[in-house]
Amino acid sequence: MKATNASGTNTNIDFGCVSLRYWEGIELNQAGENIMGRVEGKVAIITGGAMGMGESHSLVLAREGAKVVVTDINTTAGEATAQQIRDEGGEAVFIEHDVAIEEQWQSVIDQTVEAYGKVDILVNNAGIVIFKSNENTTVEIWDKTMAVNSTGVFLGCKTVFPAMEKAGGGSIINISSIYGIIGASNTAAYQASKGAVRMLTKSCAVDYGRYNIRVNSIHPGVIRTPILGGLEEDSEAIKSVLGSTILQRIGEPIEVSNAVLLLASDESSYMTGSELVVDGGYTTV
Ligand SMILES: NC(=O)c1ccc[n+]([C@@H]2O[C@H](COP(=O)([O-])OP(=O)(O)OC[C@H]3O[C@@H](n4cnc5c(N)ncnc54)[C@H](O)[C@@H]3O)[C@@H](O)[C@H]2O)c1
């Protein structure tokens, strides 16, 4: 293995059969530490970036060097996320955006390219849950859940494709759920919508791979965000989940953002079509 590095312009690690090109351009400080962010220079769109995990993903990607486009239906909280990034010295804009509306997607992509010149990363994070068993799920609840959680992801993957193709590649990260993999009570429409995200991710990974566009899904367990609504940590529903969670606690948004960061960065350059579970071990037992 050979590694050359000093000025930050000639870094290449050669394993004989594989040369890690993405190490090129690494910038070191005088102590020899890497001072570049893990997504330095990349442009990221995060849907549902106003609150909860989307807010956390936006902040983490910005802190690691990405220019961030925060989108959400919640304009006040969305503007606040973008402002926090700018206050920290990062680059961000907020765009009002309902992921279920096709025309708004094209506008988000166009505005992103206009502002920052390209799109490298799309995090399809926006989602809703309405707790109902199947027999109590109305067509209205079903359609609303599918529109945001499934159609929103479908439109995102579809609309961003030409921009990523033009840029020579990209990373799409679709937020599914453990409930896109295993069953649970009172979440019929949500589970169906998240299962669709899991398989759409694999379909897009196959179709987009030749364009160097990677598509992966993340499957969080129970994470402390506003989506949990009135569910207290000592509620029966949460206690029953924690009973099967190996790590015996609810997850924090940052713990999912760290997985987003991995998939957004070139460190995951050989990952596509994968499903990354971040659930404290819930689906293991
Ligand atoms: N929190 C959990 O335990 C958990 C577990 C697994 C998966 N997830 C998934 O993670 C994602 C983020 O969830 P969260 O817990 O941060 O939720 P949250 O409710 O805290 O945040 C969701 C965000 O999406 C936005 N949003 C809702 N509908 C939208 C729409 N039509 N268009 C654009 N934005 C919209 C909301 O305004 C909000 O800012 C969701 O897809 C959710 O299903 C959450």
Same domain, 1 and 112: no
Q: Is the CB of residue 20 less than 8 Å from the CB of residue 265?
A: no
Could you give the percent of the chain with pLDDT greater than 90? 81
Mutation to probe ligand 1, out of 71, 81, 96, 128 (largest number of atoms < 8 A from CB): 128
Same domain, 108 and 130: yes
Query: Which residues, at least 6 apart from 168, have a Cβ–Cβ distance to it below 8 Å?
Result: 212
Q: Closest ligand 1 atom to the C-alpha of 253?
A: 16
Whether the predicted pLDDT of 93 surpasses 70:
yes
Same domain, 127 and 162: yes
Q: Distance from the CA of 53 to the center of ligand 1, in angstroms?
A: 7
Nearest CA to ligand 1 atom 18: 227
Q: What is the pLDDT of residue 3?
A: 40
Q: Distance from the CA of 100 to the center of ligand 1, in angstroms?
A: 13
Written as six digits, the tokens of 184 are 């649970």
Q: Is the CB of residue 215 less than 8 Å from the CB of residue 205?
A: yes
Q: What is the pLDDT of residue 9?
A: 41
Q: What is the pLDDT of residue 34?
A: 64
Same domain, 50 and 9: no
Q: Distance from the CA of 75 to the center of ligand 1, in angstroms?
A: 15
Note down the domain range covering 248. Answer: 37-284
Q: What is the pLDDT of residue 96?
A: 99
Backbone angles phi, psi at 12, to 5 degrees: -150, 130
Q: Closest ligand 1 atom to the C-alpha of 178?
A: 6
Q: Is the CB of residue 139 less than 8 Å from the CB of residue 79?
A: no
Q: What is the pLDDT of residue 14?
A: 52
Q: Distance from the CA of 125 to the center of ligand 1, in angstroms?
A: 6
**Position 272: which residue type?**
T
Q: CB neighbours (10 Å) of residue 247?
A: 13
Q: CB neighbours (10 Å) of residue 77?
A: 18
Q: Closest ligand 1 atom to the C-alpha of 194?
A: 43
User: What average pLDDT does this structure show over 225-247?
Assistant: 84
Same domain, 31 and 54: no
Same domain, 24 and 143: no
Whether the predicted pLDDT of 11 surpasses 60:
no
Q: What is the pLDDT of residue 243?
A: 87
Whether the predicted pLDDT of 206 surpasses 60:
yes
Whether the predicted pLDDT of 196 surpasses 80:
yes
Q: Distance from the CA of 57 to the center of ligand 1, in angstroms?
A: 12
Q: What is the pLDDT of residue 242?
A: 87
CA distance linking residue 192 with residue 177, whole number of Å: 11
Whether the predicted pLDDT of 230 surpasses 70:
no
Q: What is the pLDDT of residue 102?
A: 98
Comparison of pLDDT for 3 and 76, the residue scoring more: 76
Whether the predicted pLDDT of 113 surpasses 60:
yes
Comparison of pLDDT for 132 and 227, the residue scoring more: 132
Could you give the percent of the chain with pLDDT greater than 70? 88
What are the C-alpha distances in Å from 114 to residues 86, 137, 138, 264?
18, 42, 41, 21
Residue 236: pLDDT band with limits 50, 70, 90: confident
Comparison of pLDDT for 26 and 118, the residue scoring more: 118
Q: Is the CB of residue 174 less than 8 Å from the CB of residue 153?
A: yes
Q: What is the pLDDT of residue 151?
A: 99
User: What average pLDDT does this structure show over 24-49?
Assistant: 82
Q: What is the pLDDT of residue 105?
A: 98
Same domain, 125 and 224: yes
CA distance linking residue 221 with residue 9, whole number of Å: 41
Same domain, 4 and 49: no
Same domain, 30 and 73: no
Same domain, 251 and 269: yes
Catalytic residues: 190
User: What average pLDDT does this structure show over 142-158?
Assistant: 99
Nearest CA to ligand 1 atom 23: 48
Q: Coil, strand or helix: which one is 118?
A: coil
Written as six digits, the tokens of 86 are 């700018």
Residues with CB under 6 A from ligand 1: 47-48, 50-54, 72-74, 97-100, 125-129, 148, 175, 177, 220, 222-223, 225-228
Q: What is the pLDDT of residue 129?
A: 97
- Following DSSP, what letter does each residue of 190-218 receive, concatenated? HHHHHHHHHHHHHHHHHHHGGGTEEEEEE
Residue 209: pLDDT band with limits 50, 70, 90: very high
Nearest CA to ligand 1 atom 19: 227
Same domain, 125 and 77: yes
CATH number, domain at 268?
Answer: 3.40.50.720
Domain count, the chain: 2
Same domain, 6 and 114: no
